[in-house]
Amino acid sequence: MLKTGYGGSGDGSSPLKLFTNAKKKINSIYGDIGKYVGDFEKFTEKVKTSEEKELIEKDLDDHIVTCLQKVSGIRDMLLRDHMKVVFFGRTSNGKSTVINAMLCDKILPSGLGHTTNCFLSIEGCKDKDGAYLLCAGSDEKRNVQSVSQLGHALSQESMSNDSLIRIMWPKNKCTLLKHEVVLVDSPGIDVTEDMDNWIDQYCLDADVFVLVANAESTLMLAEKKFFHKVNTRLSKPNIFILNNRWDASAAEPELMEQVRAQHLKRGISFLADELGVVSAQQAEDRVFFVSAKEALNARLQKLRGMPESGGALAEGFKARLLEFCTFEHNFEECISRSATRTKFHQHTQGAQSIVDSFTEYASNLLDKASNMKAECDGCNEEVELKIAFIEKNIKLLTAQVKEAITRLVEETEFQVRQAMSDEIRRLSLLVDEFDKPFHQNQMVLQVYKDELYRHVEEVLGRNLATRCSASLKIQINLSKERMVKEAQPLFDCKSNGNETQLQIPESTFEVSYDINCSNLCSDFREDIEFKFSLGFRCLINRFIGGRRPLAVSDSPVPRPLPTSQEMTPRQSDGTSMEDVAWGIAAGYIKTKGKNSASLALGVVMVPYALYKTVGWRILVFGVASYGALYLYERLTWTSRAQEKALKRQFVEHASEKLDLVTSFTSSNCSHQVQQELSTGFAQICHKVDEINKELRAESEDLKSKSDRLAALQSELKTLRNKAHFLSSDIGGFVANYLKMDL
Ligand code: GDP
């Protein structure tokens, strides 16, 4: 039940709280939206400086800027939002008195001599500022301390009836002002014909209109006309009709009910039928019979701690006061809901559209980031497969190539050994081809020998090259081609996708046989002194046995390389062990030949025995033949014969030496082939390794990109969830403040 002291009794249960709470809430929602858009902006700025900048499109930047401006604009607007009630009625109907009663204070001057001749608004201001006036077109604050001062100030102003004076009154003094209600008093509706101008200037943002009528008369045409005009400009304006001065009816109690019923009927008919702003039933709650004067006095009395009635209790005072309170309650409910709805409905829609747009942006970005991550992970999987493929196949390829190289190396060794053996066998022919002039003079002979070595070296090298090099080159190239072909699939794994043919530099490989004849034959000592074939020494030598003939090595292939000692069969002084043995043997024979008496006896006794046996003729013939043979051999021991002997000795010597180095040369050649192929394969491995490195780097890049995208996804999910949370907050606001039943 309403208490008669409603207007001045605190604001614990005031319906006006709906507006202030709604304002606070929508303001906080906009605050959250502003923060959210700020977070979104930070997120986009961060992404724009990262490698994923393609995620952010230009329109998002523009949208963020627009929304931030919009949010800030709406928050400013919210600060200025208030509830507005405009009081209309003919002059002296008691508009100012009603306003004062509602504010529980004599703020507006009323009564005779204080007719309001312009619009006056009463707004709350900060308590510390105190009361002041703001006149139309001026920002100058004019302090007023009392009603009389205000009345005096207002009477000083020569204002047109459509101008406005704003009275700023400390909020804490009045509950309505505290709840951001702005009350506007108008000049008497009967003083102007220019109602349209009034409506344009002061009524379009009004939440409630209060028509202060005089209960002692009926609604005048001017009053009705004004509200008809308002009704055409605003959709279903909230109008209250206060039949003021109802205390006067107490003087005629017998007519009171009849007059009340008549006024009520006309009021309801005006609101429901003529204007159509409410139903007839609702209209009953919009028409009141009050005495503003009594209400004001009662409240002032109460504030002073005096009885509300002021001592003399007029007839029906309590009922009128209660009805005034009922009016106030209905008015507060109506203005609060209406203002909340009209003021915040649009803001709610604006907030929802901002939040929806960011929900969409966050979802789209999330989809985009998810697609990019999936693509990135797919690429990385592909790259990792390539790496695994390369690592597995390079091992297989290495094993294959190793085997192939070993095979070719063995083949080369065999081929070169075979070729050298053949050449050694043909060495005498090769030496015979040498036809440089020969002379037994030591110096000329040395030149001859040097030339011979060079000739052998050249021709032998050429022959070996002809026999082996071409086929070796072909086999090497074939092996290389095979390597390249086998490695091509690995090369095809190249990360940049530009698959090209694997190439290794063209080989200019030539097998070097490295037969240094001069070195090999440095110990060669020719023996071209004349030796009679039936001479005593020759016979003895023949009797003991000739020098061991040089044998062509027939050792099987492969065989171990000669050791360094074997490679230098001559000792440092140029005498072989064999020669030393022969020397000792010859010395022994010589010693035996000189010192043995029996041998000397034999030498004398043999011719004597022959003489006795065959006779002197045969002996002379024998001696003559012996001498002739000696002469023949001595005469035929020409330079040509000496050259032949030298060549024969050289062939024997060189064959033996070459035979000794065959193994070494063939190993050397096979080693060269091995080197060549290994180098080629190493080049391939190097290139494959580079590809592998590239792929690993690419995989690392893709992994870190995927991680970054995962982080972005999580941030975007948070942003999307925040948008959903804001959206439900707005939904809650709509349900709590905008969809309430009246
Ligand atoms: P306005 O011109 O419409 O603002 O009217 P005022 O508020 O200035 O009031 C004009 C005169 O009517 C003043 O003398 C008031 O005291 C008086 N008045 C206002 N309300 C009532 C009321 O309810 N009963 C009586 N008897 N007089 C009132």
- pLDDT of 147 reads 59
> How far, in Å, from the CA of 121 to the mean position of ligand 1?
18
Q: Which residue has the CA at smallest separation from atom 18 of ligand 1?
A: 94
> How far, in Å, from the CA of 462 to the mean position of ligand 1?
141
Q: How far apart are CA 388 and CA 392, in angstroms?
A: 6
The finding on whether 267 has its CB within 6 A of some atom of ligand 1 is no
Instruction: Say whether pLDDT at 548 is over 50.
Output: no
- pLDDT of 148 reads 63
The finding on whether 116 has its CB within 6 A of some atom of ligand 1 is yes
Q: Using the atom order of ligand 1, give the atom closest to the CA of residue 295.
A: 23
> How far, in Å, from the CA of 6 to the mean position of ligand 1?
21
> How far, in Å, from the CA of 263 to the mean position of ligand 1?
19
> How far, in Å, from the CA of 89 to the mean position of ligand 1?
12
CB neighbourhood size of 85 (10 A): 23
Q: Which helix (H) or strand (E) holds 375?
A: helix 317-425
558 upstream amide cis, omega within 30 of 0: yes
> How far, in Å, from the CA of 116 to the mean position of ligand 1?
12
> How far, in Å, from the CA of 243 to the mean position of ligand 1?
12
Q: How far apart are CA 666 and CA 410, in angstroms?
A: 9
CB within 8 Å of 370: residues ≥ 6 apart: 713
The mean pLDDT of 443-466, rounded to a whole number, is 89
> How far, in Å, from the CA of 706 to the mean position of ligand 1?
79
- pLDDT of 566 reads 39
Would you call 742 helix, strand, or coil by DSSP? coil
Instruction: Say whether pLDDT at 598 is over 60.
Output: no
Domain ranges of the chain: 82-314, 380-524+657-686
Please report where in the chains the tokens 């070595």 appear, as a residue.
453
> How far, in Å, from the CA of 337 to the mean position of ligand 1?
29
Q: Using the atom order of ligand 1, give the atom closest to the CA of residue 245.
A: 23
- Say whether domain 82-314 belongs to CATH 3.40.50.300: yes
Ligand 1 site-directed mutation target among 88, 91, 92, most atoms within 8 Å of CB: 92
The finding on whether 291 has its CB within 6 A of some atom of ligand 1 is yes
Do residues 40 and 358 lie in contact, with contact meaning Cβ atoms separated by under 8 Å? yes
Between the two ends of the chain, the Cα-to-Cα distance in Å is 19
Report pLDDT digits (tens) over 62-104: 999 999 999 999 999 888 889 999 999 988 899 999 999 999 9
The finding on whether 292 has its CB within 6 A of some atom of ligand 1 is yes
Q: How far apart are CA 132 and CA 324, in angstroms?
A: 29
The mean pLDDT of 110-122, rounded to a whole number, is 73
> How far, in Å, from the CA of 96 to the mean position of ligand 1?
7
Q: Is the dihedral of CA 47, 52, 53, 56 positive or negative?
A: negative
**Residues linked to residue 169 through DSSP beta bridges, in sequence order:** 124
- pLDDT of 500 reads 64
Q: How far apart are CA 98 and CA 104, in angstroms?
A: 10
Q: Using the atom order of ligand 1, give the atom closest to the CA of residue 212.
A: 3
- Closest to 579 in 3D by CA, of 533, 525, 538, 540: 525
Give the confidence band of 409 by pLDDT, cuts at 50, 70, 90: very high
> How far, in Å, from the CA of 112 to the mean position of ligand 1?
9
Please report where in the chains the tokens 């001069």 appear, as a residue.
518
> How far, in Å, from the CA of 94 to the mean position of ligand 1?
4
CB within 8 Å of 389: residues ≥ 6 apart: 489, 490, 493
Instruction: Say whether pLDDT at 107 is over 50.
Output: yes
Ligand 1 site-directed mutation target among 87, 88, 97, most atoms within 8 Å of CB: 97
Q: Which residue has the CA at smallest separation from atom 10 of ligand 1?
A: 92
Residue type (1 letter), 581: A
Would you call 198 helix, strand, or coil by DSSP? helix
Measured in whole angstroms, the distance separating CA 176 from the mean position of its chain's CA atoms is: 58
DSSP string for 328-357: HHHHHHHHHHHHHHHHHHHHHHHHHHHHHH
Q: In the Cβ-directed half-sphere of 354, how many Cα atoms lie within 13 Å?
A: 30
Q: How far apart are CA 322 and CA 328, in angstroms?
A: 10
Q: In residues, how long is the chain? A: 742
Q: How far apart are CA 560 and CA 664, in angstroms?
A: 8
CB neighbourhood size of 516 (10 A): 12
- pLDDT of 565 reads 38
Q: Which residue has the CA at smallest separation from atom 9 of ligand 1?
A: 94
> By mean pLDDT, which of 255-264, 404-413, 583-592 is the weakest?
583-592
Q: Using the atom order of ligand 1, give the atom closest to the CA of residue 90.
A: 3
Q: Which residue has the CA at smallest separation from atom 14 of ligand 1?
A: 111
Please report where in the chains the tokens 């002061």 appear, as a residue.
202
Tell me the C-alpha to C-alpha distance, in Å, between residue 617 and each of 84, 621, 624, 630, 730: 179, 6, 10, 20, 158
Q: How far apart are CA 720 and CA 236, in angstroms?
A: 40
> How far, in Å, from the CA of 97 to the mean position of ligand 1?
6
- pLDDT of 498 reads 60
CB within 8 Å of 431: residues ≥ 6 apart: 452, 456, 647, 650, 651, 654
Report pLDDT digits (tens) over 135-183: 877 777 877 766 566 666 666 666 666 788 889 999 888 889 999 999 9
Report pLDDT digits (tens) over 285-304: 999 999 999 999 999 988 88
> How far, in Å, from the CA of 146 to the mean position of ligand 1?
19
The finding on whether 90 has its CB within 6 A of some atom of ligand 1 is no
Do residues 26 and 344 lie in contact, with contact meaning Cβ atoms separated by under 8 Å? yes
Would you call 75 helix, strand, or coil by DSSP? helix
The residue among 92 and 362 whose pLDDT is bigger is 362
The finding on whether 97 has its CB within 6 A of some atom of ligand 1 is yes
Instruction: Say whether pLDDT at 651 is over 60.
Output: yes
Q: Which helix (H) or strand (E) holds 33?
A: helix 17-48
Give the per-residue SS3 of 555-601: CCCCCCCCCHHHHCCCCCCCCCHHHHHHHHHHHHHHHHHHHCHHHHH
Give the burial class of 40: count Cβ atoms within 10 A of its Cβ; 0-12 exposed, 13-18 middle, 19 or more buried. Answer: buried
> By mean pLDDT, which of 215-229, 533-547, 627-641 is the weakest?
533-547
Instruction: Say whether pLDDT at 351 is over 90.
Output: yes
Do residues 94 and 244 lie in contact, with contact meaning Cβ atoms separated by under 8 Å? yes
Instruction: Say whether pLDDT at 553 is over 60.
Output: no
DSSP string for 377-446: HHHHHHHHHHHHHHHHHHHHHHHHHHHHHHHHHHHHHHHHHHHHHHHHHTHHHHHHT-------SHHHHH
The finding on whether 115 has its CB within 6 A of some atom of ligand 1 is yes
Q: Which residue has the CA at smallest separation from atom 26 of ligand 1?
A: 245
The finding on whether 95 has its CB within 6 A of some atom of ligand 1 is yes
Q: Using the atom order of ligand 1, give the atom closest to the CA of residue 246.
A: 23
- pLDDT of 613 reads 77
Q: How far apart are CA 210 and CA 286, in angstroms?
A: 9
Q: Using the atom order of ligand 1, give the atom closest to the CA of residue 294.
A: 23
> How far, in Å, from the CA of 324 to the mean position of ligand 1?
15
- pLDDT of 623 reads 86
The mean pLDDT of 22-27, rounded to a whole number, is 93
- pLDDT of 200 reads 86
Ligand 1 site-directed mutation target among 212, 216, 293, most atoms within 8 Å of CB: 293
Instruction: Say whether pLDDT at 692 is over 60.
Output: yes
Q: How far apart are CA 320 and CA 291, in angstroms?
A: 6
The residue among 277 and 254 whose pLDDT is bigger is 277
The finding on whether 323 has its CB within 6 A of some atom of ligand 1 is no
What token pair was written down for 157?
């102003």
The finding on whether 373 has its CB within 6 A of some atom of ligand 1 is no
Ligand 1 site-directed mutation target among 102, 106, 110, most atoms within 8 Å of CB: 110
DSSP symbol at 129: G
Q: In whole angstroms, how large is the CA radius of gyration of the chain?
A: 66
> How far, in Å, from the CA of 98 to the mean position of ligand 1?
8
> How far, in Å, from the CA of 244 to the mean position of ligand 1?
8
Q: Which residue has the CA at smallest separation from atom 22 of ligand 1?
A: 245
pTM over 0.75: no
Measured in whole angstroms, the distance separating CA 706 from the mean position of its chain's CA atoms is: 7
Instruction: State which of 331-345, 576-590, 596-610 shows the largest mean pLDDT.
Output: 331-345
